[in-house]
A and B are shown apart, each in its own frame.
Chain A
C-alpha cells in the first residue's frame, strides 16, 4: 500500500517532471523542483502513511502532474484526441528511458513524439536538446539534468505506458475525475488505509495553483482523460482491473527502467532503482534501501518506503540534485547496490572504450575489451616511438637553423598569438620575402648576414605579435602559391608553405600583402 503510493508518487514525480518540461524548459524546472521538494518532504516522514502531513506535498506533486494535463482540459470532460494520449505515453516512456544509459539512442527515439501533431509544438522544444546529447551525456549528466529534460530520451510508446498515462490522467484536477481517481486509487493501490486515497484525492484538489502553470501540457494530456472511462471501470470493483492497475501503476515508475509489464516484482525494482539515483551521497541510504529491497517483496514495505523516503529525500533536497547518476536496475539484472554501481562503472568504461575506438585507427574490427586495450597500447607505444624517431631526425637532419626556420617560427608565433594588424604585415612579410629571397642566391655566407637582418626584423615581430594577441590571423591570401612543394602540401599553415617556398627560391611575390 505504501509502496504503491510510493510508486505512484515516483511516477507522479516523473510525470510532473515531464509536464514541467512540457510547459517550458525553464519553467518546467521550477515546477519540477517544487514538486520534487514537495515530494521529498513528503517522504521525510517514514510514517507518512500514517500522517496526513504528506498530503500537502503529495498534493502539490500530484497536482503538478495532474495540472499540466488537466489545465488544457479544464472544464472539459471529453478528451478525444488520441494523439495527446500517445503524446503523454511517449513522454512518460521517455522518462522511463532517461536513465537508460546505454541502450537507446535519443535520436532514434525522438520520432514517435514528433508524429503527434497536437503536441508537436511541445515536443519541438525537446527535440533540439534531444538531438545533441549522446549516451555519454546521458550517463554523465546528473540526475537534475535528466529531470530537467524529462523528454530527452523518448521511448517508443508502449501500450502499457498508455495505460499508465491513463492512470495518471485520471489524477487530473477535475472533480468529476477526482471521484473516479479516488475510487481508482482505492483499487489501484489496494490501500488498506484510506489515508492514501484521501491523500491522493486531496492532492488532486490542489491543482488550481498549478493549473495556470501547466496549461501547455494539458492539451497533450487530453488523451488521458479519455481514459477516464477506463479509469472508472475499476471503480466497479473489478478485481482483475484492480490487479492489473495496481500492477501497472507501480510499473509506471518502473517502466522508466524497462518497458515491461509491471508485475509485483517490479515494485521491488522501483525502490532499488530509486536507491541508485543517489549513488554518491546517499550511498549509505542506497545500501539501506538495497538491503531492504533485497528481501522479498513481501518484506516490510514500511522499511522500503522509509528507505525510499530517505532516498527520495536525499536526491531531492531543497536544492536540486547535482551530479547524481540515475541508474535503474534493468529487468532481469541483479539489483543490489554493488552490481548497480559496477554496472555504472562498466558502462562508463565501455563508453570510453568506444571513444578510444574512434581515436585509434583500425580498431573497428576489434571486439572485446582486451583486444581493444591491446590495440590501444600498441598505438600509444607506436606514437611514442614516432615522437622519439622524429626528435632524432630533427636532431640530425637539421643542419641549418637559418632564416627559414626563423621565418617559420615567426610565422608560427604570429599564428599562435594572433595576427599583427594588417598594416604591419606587409612590412614583415616584405622583410621576410627580401631576406629569404636573397638567401638562395647568395649562398651560405650571406645566409648568416641576412639571417641576422631578418632576425632583427623578426625580433620586432614577436613584440608586435604580442601586442595584438587576440586578433584573428589576417594573413594575405596565399592563392598565388602553387603546390610546387608537395611535401608541405597538407601542412596546416598555408603561410608556412608560402614562407618555405619563398625561402626555397621560388620567388613568388604573393604573400607580401
Chain B
C-alpha cells in the first residue's frame, strides 16, 4: 500500500485536527448513551458549529467567507452568553455593540459599494442578478462583494466545503464501523 505523506499543514489536515478535537470535546461533555432527541439535536448543532468553525479557522482570515463565518459564530456565541445573563454579558454586549457598529458600518459601506457595483454589473449581466443574489446568500460574507470577487470566494468556499464533507464522511464511517 502506498503511504501518502500528506502535507502536514494542508487545509485538510488542519481541518481534521481541529474538528476531531472539537468532536472529542463535544462527546466528552455528554455521554452519548443518553439519546434523547433534544440532546442529539444539541450535539448536532454543536458539531455543525464546530465543523464550520474549524474550517473557518483552518482558512484563517484569508478569505472573506471565513472571516464572515468566524464573526457570525463569535457574535452568536456572544449573544448567547449575553442572553444567558452572565456577568460577562456586559462585556459581551459592549463588544457586540462595537462589533455590530463596525459591521453595520461595514455593511452599509459594503451595501453602497455593492449597489454601485451592481449598477455597473447590471449592464453586463442583466439576467444574473437573481442568481448572484442567491449565491450571496449562500456564501457567508457574500453580501458585500461584486460578482467577480463573489465568484472567487465561491470557488474557495466550494473547495473547503468539499474537504469538509470528505473528512466528515470518513469520520462518520469510522465511527459507524464499530
Contacts and interface: CB of A to CB of B under 8 A. Distances in A.
Interface of A: 342, 345-346, 348-349, 352-353, 355-356, 359-360, 369-370, 373-374, 376-377, 379-381, 383-384, 386-388, 390-401, 404-406, 408-409, 412-413, 415-419, 470, 472-473, 475, 477-479, 481, 483, 485, 487-488, 491-494, 496, 500, 504
Nearest to A373: B131
B83 interface: no
Contact of B131 (A370, A405, A478, A504): A370
B48 A398 contact: no
Given A487-B173, A488-B173, A352 B6 contact: no
A496 B174 CA distance: 9
A408 B174 contact: yes
19 contacts: A349-B147, A352-B151, A359-B155, A359-B159, A369-B127, A376-B135, A379-B158, A387-B48, A387-B165, A391-B51, A391-B168, A398-B27, A400-B178, A412-B17, A415-B6, A418-B8, A488-B170, A492-B170, A494-B2
B131 A377 contact: yes
Nearest to B39: A395
A418 to B, nearest CB: 5
Contact of A348 (B16, B46, B148, B177): B148
Interface string B146-178: 011001101101110110110011111111111
A391 B8 contact: no
Nearest to B49: A391
Interface string B1-40: 1111110110011101100110110011000110100001
Given A370-B131, A399-B32, 8 more contacts: A352-B148, A380-B157, A380-B161, A387-B48, A394-B47, A394-B172, A399-B178, A412-B13
Most chain B beta-carbon neighbours within 10 Å: one of A352, A417, A488, A500: A352
B56 interface: no
Contacts of B2: 494
Contacts of B4: 492-494
Given A353-B151, A377-B135, A342 B13 contact: no
Contact of B128 (A342, A355, A369): A369
A346 B126 CA distance: 12
B125 interface: yes
Interface of B: 1-6, 8-9, 12-14, 16-17, 20-21, 23-24, 27-28, 32-33, 35, 40-41, 43-44, 46-48, 51-52, 120-121, 123-125, 127-128, 131-132, 134-135, 138-139, 147-148, 151-152, 154-155, 157-159, 161-162, 164-165, 168-178
B127 A412 contact: no
A359 B158 CA distance: 8
A356 B152 CA distance: 9
A412 B48 contact: no
Contacts of A376: 135, 154, 158
A386 B1 contact: no
Given A356-B154, A387-B161, A491 B170 contact: yes
A360 B1 CA distance: 30
Contacts of B158: 356, 359-360, 376, 379-380, 383
Contacts of A399: 32-33, 178
9 tightest A-B CB contacts, nearest first: A373-B131, A352-B151, A416-B13, A395-B44, A401-B27, A383-B161, A390-B168, A416-B17, A395-B43
Contacts of A404: 174, 178
Contacts of B24: 401, 405-406, 409
Nearest to B131: A373
B3 to A, nearest CB: 5
B168 A394 contact: yes
B126 to A, nearest CB: 10
Contact of A391 (B32, B44, B138, B148): B44
Most chain B beta-carbon neighbours within 10 Å: one of A359, A369, A374, A395: A395
B87 to A, nearest CB: 31
Contact of B174 (A395, A470, A488): A488
A370 B165 CA distance: 26
A355 B168 contact: no
A442 B149 CA distance: 57
B175 A394 contact: yes
B175 A398 contact: yes
B128 A395 contact: no
B131 A487 contact: no
A406 B21 CA distance: 9
Nearest to B117: A345
B123 A342 contact: yes
A477 B3 contact: yes
Nearest to A358: B155
A376 B128 CA distance: 13
Contacts of A419: 8
Given A359-B158, A373-B128, A409-B24, A391 B135 contact: no
A364 to B, nearest CB: 16
Contacts of A383: 158, 161-162, 164-165
A504 B125 CA distance: 56
Contact of B1 (A349, A412, A494): A494
Contacts of B17: 409, 412-413, 415-417
Contacts of A492: 4, 6, 12, 170
A377 B177 contact: no
Nearest to A346: B124
A470 B43 CA distance: 34
Nearest to B157: A380
